[in-house]
Homo-oligomer: A and B are copies of this chain.
Amino acid sequence: MFERRIDEGLWVKLTVPQFAPELFVVVSENREFLSRWLLSMEGIDSLEDMQQQIKGELQKFSYGQGLHETIFYRDRIIGSLGYHYIDSLQNIGHVRYWLAEAFTGKGIMTRCLRDLIGIGFDYFALNKVQAEAAPENHTSRALLERSGFTEEGTIRSVEKVMGQYLDHTVYGLLHSEL
């Protein structure tokens, strides 16, 4: 409905419930691939779950506590990114992103993330953009490093997914480092 042009054919749009059917299809097709990224898409098992999640994201947006964008390439949904949490006391935006497998390796997320970081510093007056990656997710870690983030540590057993405790490698980009 509302959008930002990133590049020729590449747009990010504010995620609205009307995207739910197509988003759910893309997520379902990439579920196994995405589970290798940090985002396991647990809890999104139906179109209704997807619609509920989008409503929740829009409510966070209305409170200035989050921002969820859907990535379109030539009118087709190929991924999403955003701030899943904006901590307005500490001025930190927590980034999360995923791309359908077929569209990785083309620099798409790098360009979308650069735009998102700009929104964070310009509109939300962030002091820091923070991201987490699974220690073994070299693609995601390379993306963050390429985007100027600094590795700050690996917090152990910080997330329980299907009975297993996972570690997170934390990356940060300060406003002063831009």
Contact = CB atoms under 8 A, between A and B. Distances in A.
Interface of A: 1-4, 13-14, 16-18, 55, 58-59, 61-64, 89-92, 119, 123, 127-128, 130, 150, 152-160, 165, 170, 172, 174
A16 B4 CA distance: 15
Copies of this protein, total = 6
B1 A119 contact: yes
Given A2-B14, A127-B157, A150-B156, 20 more contacts: A1-B14, A2-B2, A14-B14, A16-B123, A55-B63, A55-B64, A59-B59, A62-B62, A90-B157, A90-B158, A90-B165, A92-B157, A127-B165, A128-B157, A152-B154, A152-B156, A153-B154, A153-B170, A156-B172, A157-B172
B172 A155 contact: yes
A52 to B, nearest CB: 12
Contacts of A174: 156-157
A174 B158 CA distance: 11
7 contacts: A1-B4, A2-B2, A16-B123, A127-B157, A130-B155, A152-B153, A157-B172
Nearest to A157: B128
Contacts of A13: 2
Contacts of A63: 55, 59
Nearest to A176: B157
Nearest to A57: B62
A16 B17 CA distance: 18
A62 B64 contact: no
Contacts of A16: 123
Contacts of A14: 1-2, 14
A119 B3 CA distance: 14
Nearest to A64: B17
